[in-house]
Structure 1
Amino acid sequence: MEEVITLLDRPPFRAEKQHTQWARRSGARAILDWLADFPGESWQERWEASPAAQCPRRWAQQGHAWVGTAAPVRWSSIQAGLLILAGADVIRLPLTWQFGYRTTHLRSVVEQARDREGYARLREKVDPKRWTAVGGRRARLALARIMLTKGGGLADITAGDAIQYSIELRKSEIDNSGGTLFYSWLRDLGHLPSDAPATLRFLDRVTGQLTCEQLVDRHGVACAPIRRLLIDYLEERRPKLDYSTLDNLARALTRNFWSDLERHHPGIASLDLPPGVASAWKERFRTRTQRRKRPDGTLEETVVERADHALLLMAVRAFYLDIARWAAEEPARWGPWVAPCPIKEAETSNRKRIKRVKARMDQRTRERLPALEAFAQAAADHHRHQSARLQALLAVPPGATFTLGDAVYTRTKNATTANARDPHGALLRFDLAEHRAFWAWAAVEFLRHTGARIEEMLETSHHAMIQYRLPTTGEIVPLLQIAPSKTDQERVLLVSPELADVLATIIRRVRDPRTGAIPLLAAYDYEERTWNPPAPLLFQWDRGGETSRMSGEFIRKALAEVLAYIGLTDSTGQPLDFAPHDFRRLFITDAIRSGLPPHIAQVIAGHTNINTTMGYHAIYPTETIEAHRAFITRRRALRPAEEYRTPTDAEWEDFLGHFERRKLSVGTCARAYGTACIHEHACVRCSLLRPDPAQRGRLVEIRDNLLDRIAEAEREGWLGEIEGLQVSLAGAQSKIDQINSAASGRSVMLGLPTLRTSP
Structure 2
Amino acid sequence: MLATLSGPSFLLAGQESTQALGVQGARWLLDWLVTFSGTTWQQRWDASGAARWGSEWSTPVRRWLLARGIECEPVMMLDCGLAGLFSADVVRPGLEFLLSQRRTAFWREWAGPCRDRRGFARLQAGTDAAMWDSMQGRTARWYITALILVKGGGISKITVGDCVQLRIAERIVCTPGNSRHGFYMVLRDIGCFPADSPPSLHWVTRRKGQASVEDMVDRYRVANPAVRAVFIDYLSERQPALDYSTIEDLARTLVGHFWADLEKHHPGIDSFRLDREMATAWKRRLQTRPVRRRQPDGSFAEIQVPRVQYINLLTAVRAFYLDLASWSAADPARWAYWVAPCPITPAETSSKKLERRRKARMDQRTRERLPMLPTLVRIAEQRASDAKTFVAAALAAAPGGRFSAGGQVYVRSKPWTRAGANDIPIVYDEAGRRIKLRELENRAFWAWASVEVLRHTGVRIEELLEISHHSITQYTLPSTGEIIPLLQIAPSKSDEERVLVVGPELADVLSAIVCRVRGTDGRVPLVPFYDIAERVWSEPAPLLFQWNNGAQVRPVSAGMIRTALTELLEATGVKDAAGAPLYFQPHDLRRIFTTEAIMNGMPPHIAQLLLGHKDINTTMGYKAIYPQEAIEGHRGFIARRRALRPGEEYRTPTDAEWDEFLGHFERRKLALGDCGRAYGTSCQHEHSCVRCPVLRVDPAQRHRLAEIRDNLTVRIAEAQQAGWVGEADGLAVSLAAAEDKLSQIDARIARAGTVCLSLPSFPDIAARSAVIPVRPD
Q: TM-score, normalised by structure 1?
A: 0.75
Is structure 2 residue 516 aligned with structure 1 residue 509? yes
Q: 1: CA distance between counterparts of 2:545 and 2:17?
A: 52
Letter in 2 for 1:486: K
Residue equivalent to 1:476: 483
Whether the aligned pair in 2 keeps the contact of 1:60 and 1:101 (CA below 8 Å) is no
Letter in 2 for 1:534: P
Residue equivalent to 1:756: none
Whether the aligned pair in 2 keeps the contact of 1:602 and 1:613 (CA below 8 Å) is yes
Identify the match of residue 547 of structure 1 among 549, 553, 556. 553
Whether the aligned pair in 2 keeps the contact of 1:31 and 1:81 (CA below 8 Å) is yes
Residue equivalent to 1:332: 333
Aligned residues: 634
Whether the aligned pair in 2 keeps the contact of 1:453 and 1:580 (CA below 8 Å) is yes
Residue equivalent to 1:412: 413
Residue equivalent to 1:294: 295
Q: After TM superposition, give the deviation of residue 352 of structure 1 in Å.
A: 0.8
Residue equivalent to 1:384: 385
SS of structure 1 residue aligned to 2:431: coil
Note the 1:460-609 alignment, pairs <5 A: 460-513=467-520, 515-609=521-615
Which sections of structure 2, spanning at least 5 residues, go unmatched? 420-424, 634-683, 692-707, 709-777
SS of structure 2 residue aligned to 1:512: coil
Note the 1:394-409 alignment, pairs <5 A: 394-404=395-405, 407-409=408-410
Q: 2: CA distance between counterparts of 1:9 and 1:149?
A: 23
Q: 1: CA distance between counterparts of 2:283 and 2:167?
A: 46
* Percent of pairs with identical residues: 47
Q: After TM superposition, give the deviation of residue 250 of structure 1 in Å.
A: 0.8
Residue equivalent to 2:433: 426
Note the 1:244-323 alignment, pairs <5 A: 244-323=245-324
Whether the aligned pair in 1 keeps the contact of 2:461 and 2:558 (CA below 8 Å) is yes
Q: After TM superposition, give the deviation of residue 24 of structure 1 in Å.
A: 5.3
| Worse-superposed segment, 503-512 or 36-45 | 36-45
Change in 2 beyond 3 A, CA 1:194/1:487: farther
Letter in 1 for 2:543: L
Is structure 2 residue 469 aligned with structure 1 residue 442? no
Change in 2 beyond 3 A, CA 1:272/1:44: closer
Q: Render the CA deviation track for 1:515-568: whole Å, top value 9, x for unaligned.
A: 333232222222112222222222122235232222222212211222222223
Residue equivalent to 1:179: 180
Q: After TM superposition, give the deviation of residue 319 of structure 1 in Å.
A: 0.2
Whether the aligned pair in 1 keeps the contact of 2:5 and 2:19 (CA below 8 Å) is no
Is structure 2 residue 118 aligned with structure 1 residue 133? no
SS of structure 2 residue aligned to 1:370: helix
Q: After TM superposition, give the deviation of residue 37 of structure 1 in Å.
A: 8.4
Whether the aligned pair in 1 keeps the contact of 2:18 and 2:106 (CA below 8 Å) is no
Change in 2 beyond 3 A, CA 1:148/1:502: same
Whether the aligned pair in 2 keeps the contact of 1:234 and 1:246 (CA below 8 Å) is yes
Q: Render the CA deviation track for 1:450-481: whole Å, top value 9, x for unaligned.
A: 11000111122222222333344444332222
Whether the aligned pair in 2 keeps the contact of 1:135 and 1:177 (CA below 8 Å) is no
Residue equivalent to 2:394: 393
Change in 2 beyond 3 A, CA 1:301/1:62: closer
Q: 2: CA distance between counterparts of 1:139 and 1:472?
A: 58
Q: 2: CA distance between counterparts of 1:304 and 1:28?
A: 64
Letter in 2 for 1:97: F
Q: 1: CA distance between counterparts of 2:98 and 2:379?
A: 50
Residue equivalent to 2:92: 92
Residue equivalent to 2:345: 344
Q: 2: CA distance between counterparts of 1:194 and 1:623?
A: 66
Whether the aligned pair in 2 keeps the contact of 1:524 and 1:530 (CA below 8 Å) is yes
Q: After TM superposition, give the deviation of residue 503 of structure 1 in Å.
A: 1.2
Q: 2: CA distance between counterparts of 1:488 and 1:383?
A: 34
Q: Render the CA deviation track for 1:491-516: whole Å, top value 9, x for unaligned.
A: 22222222121111112212233x33
SS of structure 2 residue aligned to 1:259: helix
Whether the aligned pair in 2 keeps the contact of 1:139 and 1:178 (CA below 8 Å) is no
Change in 2 beyond 3 A, CA 1:422/1:322: same
Residue equivalent to 2:237: 236
Rg: which structure is higher? 2
SS of structure 2 residue aligned to 1:408: strand
Q: After TM superposition, give the deviation of residue 78 of structure 1 in Å.
A: 6.4
Q: 2: CA distance between counterparts of 1:128 and 1:677?
A: 69
Letter in 2 for 1:219: Y
Q: Render the CA deviation track for 1:425-452: whole Å, top value 9, x for unaligned.
A: 3333333222211111000011011110
Q: After TM superposition, give the deviation of residue 299 of structure 1 in Å.
A: 2.8
Q: 1: CA distance between counterparts of 2:289 and 2:48?
A: 60
SS of structure 2 residue aligned to 1:478: strand
Letter in 2 for 1:253: L
Identify the match of residue 9 of structure 1 among 3, 7, 10. 7
Q: 2: CA distance between counterparts of 1:233 and 1:546?
A: 43
Which sections of structure 1, spanning at least 5 residues, go unmatched? 626-675, 684-720, 722-759
Q: Render the CA deviation track for 1:673-725: whole Å, top value 9, x for unaligned.
A: xxx99775999xxxxxxxxxxxxxxxxxxxxxxxxxxxxxxxxxxxxx9xxxx
Tell me how large the CA RMSD over aligned residues is.
3.8
Note the 1:679-718 alignment, pairs <5 A: none
Q: 2: CA distance between counterparts of 1:510 and 1:527?
A: 25
| Worse-superposed segment, 530-539 or 565-574 | 565-574
Change in 2 beyond 3 A, CA 1:265/1:33: closer
Letter in 1 for 2:438: D
Change in 2 beyond 3 A, CA 1:217/1:101: closer
Letter in 2 for 1:288: R
Change in 2 beyond 3 A, CA 1:220/1:55: closer
Q: After TM superposition, give the deviation of residue 147 of structure 1 in Å.
A: 0.8
Q: Render the CA deviation track for 1:103-122: whole Å, top value 9, x for unaligned.
A: 43111113432433433443
| Worse-superposed segment, 186-195 or 380-389 | 186-195
Q: 2: CA distance between counterparts of 1:40 and 1:301?
A: 57
Letter in 1 for 2:558: G
Change in 2 beyond 3 A, CA 1:125/1:587: farther
Whether the aligned pair in 1 keeps the contact of 2:359 and 2:621 (CA below 8 Å) is yes
SS of structure 1 residue aligned to 2:542: coil
SS of structure 2 residue aligned to 1:614: helix
Q: Render the CA deviation track for 1:612-649: whole Å, top value 9, x for unaligned.
A: 11211224978999xxxxxxxxxxxxxxxxxxxxxxxx
Q: 1: CA distance between counterparts of 2:330 and 2:91?
A: 69
Letter in 1 for 2:368: E
Change in 2 beyond 3 A, CA 1:68/1:53: farther
Residue equivalent to 2:58: 60
Change in 2 beyond 3 A, CA 1:681/1:313: farther
Change in 2 beyond 3 A, CA 1:624/1:276: farther
Q: 1: CA distance between counterparts of 2:139 and 2:164?
A: 16
Whether the aligned pair in 2 keeps the contact of 1:136 and 1:178 (CA below 8 Å) is no
Letter in 1 for 2:468: S
Q: 2: CA distance between counterparts of 1:465 and 1:338?
A: 54
Letter in 2 for 1:435: N
